Amino acid sequence: MLEIQDSYDCVVMGGGPAGSTTAALVAESGASTLLVEREAMPRFHVGESLMPETYWVFERLGVLDKMKQSNFVKKVSVQFVGHQGKESQPFYFDQHDPRECSSTWQVERAEFDHMLFENAREKGADCVDATRVHDVIMDGACVTGVRLQEASGMVRDIAARVVVDATGQHALLANRFGIKVDNPELKKAAIWGYYKNARRDEGKNGGATVILQTNMKKSWFWFIPLQDGITSVGVVGDNEYLLKGRGSPEEIFHQELSICPAMLGRLEKSQLVSEFRITKEFSYATTKHAGDGWVLTGDAWGFIDPIYSSGVFFALRSGELAADAIVEGLQNNDTSGEQLGKWVTDFVFGTQWIRKLVDAYYTEEFSFGRFLKNHPQYVENLTDLLIGRIFYPGAGDIFKDMEPALARDRSGKSADSSSLKV
């Protein structure tokens, strides 16, 4: 059994994609690293659909071959279905870029997260699960360690030069420091379950994530194909609309399903093989992302919305960038907030494009289909955003014309607000 040391160069709280990525890369540099996960691994988590740009982080972590050899469903496209049931053409990523990196996977998170957790161990990190972080230890404004409760019940303090908060939506440090801010425009809720033998498209689009609007445009469904004929199916809507005074999660789910004929058709011959789960008000940001001795990554940094499947990519990429800043800081004996958060400005700049896409999707009067018909020059730009290619000059060019179009539609000047969303 692993004997936890009394001090480490780096302690990472949270064994999801962000935490395991950071721990693997910091440990690989030779720094002593402890990765702590509160639940026993493997453990369930939602968020199964990946963006293709995860490819480069997988390559750096050394897990790309494991992904290729896995039984995870391959994802090469995404498709949208409007509130009237009209299907968009699938966005095939390789039509824009034929390289291998333009495909990705739909993953069972228990298996996927466990693989990354074990990869961190293989890179040299001390990895423990079923261990809770009760609090961080402070010296003035500087974080200097963590207080752990081990699986045995023993509570002990561990010193650290750097503490990474990768605790996901628990957001331990953000809540402790009062720097977590809910997005008032995205007070959403989700109800989801898992179905066996749901109808998938034939051929190349069979592994696609499909986003389907309900006929009143007040909610939308995700359809994510997984291994062994299992499909993740969830509905998302405003918290007030979806959850207030409407009955049990199962009753609400089926009420919404009844107003989404396109999803009903896909589930016609399927069988529910799970309970329904629920989460709400998951969209938030943080007003500070790093400080002396600490840094936030993944969902602890913030979460936008599930619509474009950006969560795992942001977790992996922020974990990678944070690791580089930590390694450099440890080598230069600089664990200031400025050093540990030096990557954040560029990261926030890139992720804003996904935030803007989310805003456009939830603008009922706006139609992506109509916009692209009028501005076909942006099809490749939009595909880049759906792939996750957001960290390059020009990634946001589409918004030069989209934002004025959104403003016109919101003001009621659109001639047609009933066409397909995407």
Looking at the structure, tell me whether residues 57 and 95 fall in a common domain: no
Domain CATH code at residue 46: 3.50.50.60
Looking at the structure, tell me whether residues 16 and 153 fall in a common domain: yes
Virtual CA dihedral for 248, 251, 253, 258, nearest 10 degrees?
A: -160
Residue 356, in any domain of the structure: no
Q: Average per-residue pLDDT in the chain?
A: 94
The pLDDT of residue 413 is above 80: no
Residue 55, in any domain of the structure: yes
Looking at the structure, tell me whether residues 264 and 393 fall in a common domain: no
Domain CATH code at residue 88: 3.30.9.100
- Report whether 90 contacts 208 (CB < 8 A): yes
Looking at the structure, tell me whether residues 235 and 113 fall in a common domain: no
- How confident is the model over 190-243, as pLDDT tens digits? 999 999 999 999 999 999 999 999 998 999 999 999 999 999 999 999 999 999
Looking at the structure, tell me whether residues 296 and 422 fall in a common domain: no
Looking at the structure, tell me whether residues 193 and 226 fall in a common domain: yes
CA of 130: how far to CAs of 48, 149, 265, 417, in Å? Answer: 23, 9, 41, 51
Helix ranges (DSSP H) in 131-259: 172-177, 239-243, 249-257
Q: 203 CB contacts (<8 Å, ≥6 apart)?
A: none
Q: Where a domain ends, among 241, 262, 280?
A: 280
Helix ranges (DSSP H) in 220-260: 239-243, 249-257
Q: Residue by residue, what is the 3-state secondary structure of 360-418?
A: HHCCCCCCHHHHHHHCHHHHHHHHHHHHCCCCCCCCCCCHHHHHHHHHHHHCCCCCCCC
From 328, 329, 302, select the one nearest 317 (Cα to Cα): 302
Domain hosting residue 317, numbered range: 7-64+108-182+284-346
- How confident is the model over 157-184, as pLDDT tens digits? 999 999 999 999 999 999 999 999 999 8
pLDDT given at position 422 = 43
The pLDDT of residue 70 is above 50: yes
The pLDDT of residue 91 is above 70: yes
Looking at the structure, tell me whether residues 319 and 416 fall in a common domain: no
Give me the mean pLDDT over the 271-294 stretch. Answer: 95
Residue 397, in any domain of the structure: yes
Residue 412, in any domain of the structure: yes
> What does the DSSP 8-state code read for residue 196?
E
Looking at the structure, tell me whether residues 333 and 290 fall in a common domain: yes
Q: Where a domain ends, among 280, 298, 318?
A: 280
Q: Domain tally for the chain? A: 3
Confidence of residue 126 (pLDDT cuts 50, 70, 90): very high
Looking at the structure, tell me whether residues 247 and 317 fall in a common domain: no
Q: Where a domain ends, among 247, 280, 313?
A: 280
From 286, 13, 282, select the one nearest 174 (Cα to Cα): 286
Give me the mean pLDDT over the 310-326 stretch. Answer: 98
Confidence of residue 1 (pLDDT cuts 50, 70, 90): low
Residue 69, in any domain of the structure: no
Pairing relationship of beta strands 126-128 and 33-36 according to DSSP bridges: parallel
Looking at the structure, tell me whether residues 289 and 167 fall in a common domain: yes
The pLDDT of residue 321 is above 80: yes
Looking at the structure, tell me whether residues 143 and 196 fall in a common domain: no
Looking at the structure, tell me whether residues 150 and 227 fall in a common domain: no
